[in-house]
């Protein structure tokens, strides 16, 4: 039985915890990318869906531009060219990871509760936007797990996100 602590100013989650949560998921997605055989990463799919390489590029394309918009209200539309090898995709993944670590502390604290029109299209609270891109990655990564299982490859454990 926990102590009856009822301090209502206690946060649900702090920004450091949310970053850790996000990067934990991104670390798992990196292991899923790496689990794919090179050729299947760029060519395999089920039911007409996108390949996992294309999905990974979607995650990369959303992460830093979203953070930049969160920080200063400008939503860049530039996208990196899609790599053609697993090694290059993982390299781009890792540079995105570093960029997130660098940008995160510069988000103005009150920004999470503000509403903005992201990329001129999606009007929503900033915390909701951030959860959207994390959830989108979890959603499509789940799709990648099915690709791996169908290919006879054991995916990395879902719960393992140090």
- Residues 6 or more apart whose CB falls under 8 angstroms from that of 92 comprise 60, 80, 83
Helices (H), 11-152: 15-35, 38-43, 52-72, 86-103, 126-150
Shortest Cβ 6–its own copies spacing (Å): 5
Interface with its own copies (CB under 8 A), residue from 43, 73, 76, 88: 73
In angstroms, how far is the first alpha carbon of the chain from the final one? Answer: 27
Q: Which of residues 104-133 bind its own copies (CB under 8 A)?
A: 108-114, 116, 125, 127-128, 131-132
Q: Which stretch binds its own copies (CB under 8 A): 36-44, 82-90, 92-100, 152-160?
A: 152-160
Of 27, 23, 111, the C-alpha closest to 73 is: 111
SS3 category, 135: helix
Does 76 sit near its own copies (CB under 8 A)? Answer: no
Does 68 sit near its own copies (CB under 8 A)? Answer: no
Q: How many residues bind its own copies (CB under 8 A)?
A: 56
Asked if 45 contacts 147 with a C-beta cutoff of 8 angstroms, the reply is yes
Residue numbers at the binding site for its own copies (CB under 8 A): 1-2, 4-15, 17-18, 21, 25, 46-49, 72-74, 108-114, 116, 125, 127-128, 131-132, 135-136, 138-143, 145-152, 158-159
């Amino acid at each position: 039985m926990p102590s009856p602590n009822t301090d209502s100013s206690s946060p649900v989650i702090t920004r450091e915890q949310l970053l850790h949560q996000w990067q934990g998921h991104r670390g798992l997605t990196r292991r899923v990318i790496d689990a794919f055989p090179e050729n299947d990463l760029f060519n395999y799919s089920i039911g007409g869906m996108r390949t996992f390489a294309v999905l990974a590029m979607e995650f990369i394309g959303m992460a830093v531009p979203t953070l930049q918009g969160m920080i200063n209200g400008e939503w860049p539309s530039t996208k990196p060219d899609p790599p053609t090898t697993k090694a290059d995709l993982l390299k781009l993944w890792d540079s995105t990871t570093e960029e997130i670590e660098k940008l995160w502390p510069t988000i103005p604290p009150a920004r999470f509760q503000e509403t903005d029109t992201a990329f001129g299209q999606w009007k929503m609270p900033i915390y909701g936007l951030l959860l959207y891109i994390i959830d989108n990655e979890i959603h499509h990564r789940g799709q990648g797990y099915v690709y791996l299982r169908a290919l006879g490859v054991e995916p990395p454990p879902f719960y393992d996100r140090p």
